[in-house]
Structure 1
Amino acid sequence: MRRILNASLGTQLFALQMIIVLLAVGSTAGVWVEHTRDQLDRQHQQRALAIAESVAGLPRVREAFAHPRPERVLQPIATGVQAATGADYVVIANRDQIRYAHPNPALIGKRLSTDASEILTTGRAWTGTQTGTLGRSVRGKAPIRDAAGGVIGLVSVGVLEETVAGQLDAALPPLLWTVLAVLVAGSAGAALISRRVRRQTFGLEPREIAALLEQREGVLHGVKEGVLALDLQGRVTLLNDAARELLGLSGRDVGRSIAEMPLSDRMRDVLAGDDPGDDRVVLHHDRVLVLNRMPVAVREQRSGWVVTLRDRTELVRLARDLDQASSTTDALRAQAHEFANRMHTVVGLLELGEYETAISYITQTTEDYGDHSAGVRERIADPTLAALLLAKSAEAAERGASLVLADDCRVEDGALGDPQDAVLVVGNLVANALDALEDTGGTVEVSVRAEKDGLHVRVGDSGPGISPGLAEEVFRQGFTTKVANSGPRGLGLALTRQACLRRGGWVRVHNAGGAVFTALLPHREREEIP
């Protein structure tokens, strides 16, 4: 047994199935033998009883009991019946159970070896199995009645069990051939099943399968990236810990269709393959996720899809900070370029001896820049937002456009609290307006007002405007009107809308000589203005 338990999976399956086949066949054969033996016993008992009743009903037998020497009449009758019927013995006895006929003449005149008083008393026939002088046998006993109906003796007819066993042995060969055929068929079936199991398990043993399962679970739940598997019907078949955290799902979602899960339309499109491609960027709650969907094939047949999810929220935040830094750098570069031009002008005036003109030029330039900066700081007292608008103003000038503040701009210092969301909303809307004016020039008008209900932002441009059919589409993640669609574009307006909605605000667009975006960014509870 230990050797079988240590054998290969195929060998174990074959051995176990053969044990089951042997037990089933052996049990069936045993039941058949026992049933056949019972049938043979019942048949011989009924046959013996029929013979006994026939002998007991013979007139010569009844008349013989009145003869002075009944055995002389009854012994030949019993011997003749025994020879004619094939019974192993026919015994005739009187009411005192003294034998008048017996296969062994030496026992004639002696008492029966088994008590028959019940038959003689009740007058009822009897069948069963008993052990007598000739051995164990199946018997049938019938009473002998006189003309008045009284019981005067009995007839006992029996068939030795050796005879019954011989008949049973004669019936065994077909059974043995049947058992052998079943064993051969069972062996072939067990071998086929073992071979199929080995093929389905790729020849791996149970301990190897268990090790692979443990490794799979360890890898899936240990990787930082989310892993989600789908079958061909779009049902989730696997969900590791990282995917549950990134998507806000639980283990109970395994087996559910992606259509039933609390996911955005954009997320469902990517998971279902309606938005194919690599590195698809999806906004999910406060996270920016990158999804890749790849087919899964088993034995060259498509069995489903596996989707990997990477959290790029921090990278997008850093990219946004870098973009702001880049905007500041561009503004400084533009200012440096403008300063160099002005210095060349001053140097030229000095070389020409136009000292008064040079002084006047320097004074005017200084006053113009100071007035612009002071004008921005006067309306936008928050230093972070003011710095952003000054940088965007310089960037607009560098791109051949102009950025102007509306007359209703007013943000007091400290009115924004944490300015991160405000910078995100204003920066993305201004950047979008400048992109709309790219290579054409024009004006971007910005209005920022801090009121009791939140920060009101309005950014309008003199560009071509937005088609009415795209008024909602522009805020969908991935939407972009840029020709060069390289990288994860179309996140700016989607992030703007997400920031506003997260605080209970809104963002809208309409046309008024160009696209005009308006947004409400409510204050956080701790930032509310009294």
Structure 2
Amino acid sequence: MQRSARRPPLRFSTQTLLLQLAVVLLVVLLSAAVHAWLTYDRVGSEAENQALTLARTVASDPSVRADVLAISEEEGTPPQSELAAGPLMQEAEAARSRTGALFVVITDETGLRLAHPDPQRLGEKVSTDPSEALAGREVTTRNTGTLGPSAGAKVPVYAPGSTTVVGEVSVGYSMETVAQSVARDIGPVAVTAAGALLAGVLGSFLLRRRLQRLTLGLEPEEISTLVHDQVAVLQGVDDGVVGISADGRITVFNAAAQRLLSLPDLAGTRWEDAPVPDQLKSLTRPGHAGTGALEIVAGGRVLVANARKALHRREDLGWVVMLRDRTELQELTRQLDAVGTMSTALRAQRHEFANQLHTLAGFMSIGQHQQAREYLAQLAATGPLKFPVDQAELLQDPYLQAFVGAKGVEADERGVALRVGPETLVRGHVTEAQDVTTVLGNLIDNAVNAAVAGTSADRWVEVEVLDEPGDDGGTLHVVVADSGDGLADGTDAEAVFAEGFTTATGPVRAGGGQGFGLALARQLARRRGGDVKVLAPGTRGGPGAVFMATLPHTTAGSSAAKTPGTIRKDNDG
């Protein structure tokens, strides 16, 4: 047996619309019903008052009082024919015809009809209880008698000149007439109710459309799931995410974006007024939007940013800017390059070391022991591995010695001589290797590129490093000079630290990341309380520009230090 397909539940917006329509309809119907009931009661009360007035008028007529008293004093009740032709019948019918009442009935003291619109009912007991009126009390009533439903009144008839009740007058107006009057009055009410219902329906449809637009057609369950997913994804990823709405306000600024840009949560801030790098804002501007990834330096980090337009069913939701941190990747790449360079140098020296061992073996085999001892002393003084860095022995810190040595091998491959200045003195040891590597490596790389691109035939880079002791860590002073052409004439010394600026005009090493080294080095130094600045702009033909970096709290164990000396600027070194 095939199971019937289950009907999908109504959408939330449809349920809301139906509920609103039901509420509006119920309110309109209740309002119309209450108004109709109040109108019906008011018109019925007016009919009762009119009946009471007419009954009083008839009951107070002297001839009616006298005729009722005369009949009451007789034995028995006159026959119908006599009553039908009598004066009471004429008086009652005249009053009924004149006022449009449903009936005007006159009875004796026992409740027998003496006047009635239907002559066949004369002499009979009235259909409604006359005891209240016969007891001397005026009453208004709404009941159904022999002539149908009516609103009426009962008034006692007193004997002339006496307070003795000798009968009663009952007057009634048809409730059907009252209903017709209500129907006439209810017309405007019905029109008003219909207008209110139409306005409610129109408002409900407009509210439904707005609700669909605000929720993008999503159901509440879907919105709840999206919120949970958004929190889990945006706060769980390492990439920075910045969401900009279509009206230009930041709606999402996750924890990673705050960390990468070193900013607080900017949600709710206008994108154009946000304190973020202008390069980020340019990604979302007309003419530049969607141009691909962009490298920027912010908060001492190298970031890769790109922007994507957010659309949902052709509706423009704004922009999503993604930020990825490349600082650690660049640092790892730099360290791997240094390790690779050192490995290449070690492989080259391995052959030389093998030759040296063969030489020693030869001396020993021919009995030249003195020559062997001298040769061993020479090897002990120089070491099995010699970096192509002049005066490298001035760097006592093994980390700096290895790092500068690796840079010397790399510079030597490009035809640049890397040397350590004679004023170099480092008595402590490096404690913040990553920051020192980033700043010193960028300055050396920038100087090597400038030397390669320069017009001087003698290509060199000179590095001087000094440490200054401190209570909470020593300060490392680094000065780097080169044989390049220096800064171009008229170039502002501060402009070289802008992102994308480079002094190289010739070929440089592939993948060198030109335009970000100096900016990154300065931001890292300033983040530690130091700085990177230009000491000398250099001249065309050499020597080139001189840069100085100050890195506080990066060394430990230093007992003394010198003030940074003057680097020799002659091409002979």
Shared fold (TM-score, shorter chain, > 0.5): yes
Matches of 2:62 and 2:515, distance apart in 1: 121
* Match status 1:43 vs 2:57: no
CA separation of 1:301 and 1:160: change in aligned 2, threshold 3 A = closer
| 1:294-443 correspondence to structure 2 within 5 Å | 294-325=308-339, 328=342, 376-393=391-408, 395-396=410-411, 398-412=413-427, 414-439=428-453, 440-441=455-456, 442-443=459-460
Matches of 1:221 and 1:415, distance apart in 2: 39
User: Any gaps of 5 or more consecutive residues in structure 1?
Assistant: 340-361
Q: CA deviation at 1:304?
A: 0.8
Secondary structure of 1:493's partner?
helix
**Percent sequence identity over aligned pairs:** 36
Q: CA deviation at 1:157?
A: 1.9
Question: TM-score if structure 1 supplies the norm length?
Answer: 0.71
* Match status 1:450 vs 2:467: yes
Matches of 2:261 and 2:108, distance apart in 1: 101
- More deviation, 376-385/469-478: 469-478
| 1:104-503 correspondence to structure 2 within 5 Å | 104-107=121-124, 113-116=130-133, 120=136, 127=140, 129=142, 137-140=150-153, 155-161=169-175, 163-165=177-179, 225-239=239-253, 242-243=256-257, 246=260, 253-258=266-271, 264-265=276-277, 268-269=280-281, 273=285, 277-285=291-299, 287-325=301-339, 328=342, 376-393=391-408, 395-396=410-411, 398-412=413-427, 414-439=428-453, 440-441=455-456, 442-453=459-470, 454-466=475-487, 470-482=492-504, 488-503=513-528
Partner of 2:55: 52
Letter in structure 1 aligned against 2:334: R
Letter in structure 2 aligned against 1:380: L
Would you tell me which structure has more helix in proportion to its own residues?
1
CA separation of 1:199 and 1:287: change in aligned 2, threshold 3 A = closer
Matches of 1:140 and 1:5, distance apart in 2: 62
Letter in structure 1 aligned against 2:267: V
CA separation of 1:244 and 1:384: change in aligned 2, threshold 3 A = closer
Matches of 1:140 and 1:527, distance apart in 2: 119
Matches of 1:184 and 1:73, distance apart in 2: 60
Matches of 2:452 and 2:406, distance apart in 1: 17
8 Å CA contact 1:258–1:268 kept in 2: the answer is no
* Aligned with 1:516 (options 528, 546, 564): 546
Q: CA RMSD in A?
A: 5.2
Partner of 2:10: 8
Letter in structure 1 aligned against 2:546: V
Q: CA deviation at 1:61?
A: 4.0
Matches of 1:188 and 1:406, distance apart in 2: 86
Q: CA deviation at 1:522?
A: 1.1
Deviation digits for residues 329-372 of structure 1, max 9, x if unmatched? 78789x99xx9xxxxxxxxxxxxxxxxxxxxxx9xx99999999
8 Å CA contact 2:451–2:483 kept in 1: the answer is yes
Matches of 1:489 and 1:308, distance apart in 2: 22
Matches of 2:401 and 2:204, distance apart in 1: 82
Matches of 2:268 and 2:550, distance apart in 1: 41
Matches of 1:177 and 1:108, distance apart in 2: 47
8 Å CA contact 1:266–1:477 kept in 2: the answer is no
Q: CA deviation at 1:59?
A: 5.5
Matches of 1:459 and 1:438, distance apart in 2: 15
Matches of 1:288 and 1:50, distance apart in 2: 101
Partner of 1:344: none
Matches of 1:290 and 1:270, distance apart in 2: 14
8 Å CA contact 2:533–2:549 kept in 1: the answer is yes
8 Å CA contact 1:102–1:108 kept in 2: the answer is no
User: Any gaps of 5 or more consecutive residues in structure 2?
Assistant: 74-82, 353-374, 539-543, 561-573
Question: TM-score if structure 2 supplies the norm length?
Answer: 0.67
Partner of 2:369: none
Matches of 1:302 and 1:63, distance apart in 2: 96
Letter in structure 1 aligned against 2:551: L
8 Å CA contact 1:226–1:241 kept in 2: the answer is yes
Secondary structure of 1:116's partner?
helix
Deviation digits for residues 201-255 of structure 1, max 9, x if unmatched? 88877666766776666665665544332113432223556546655678x6533
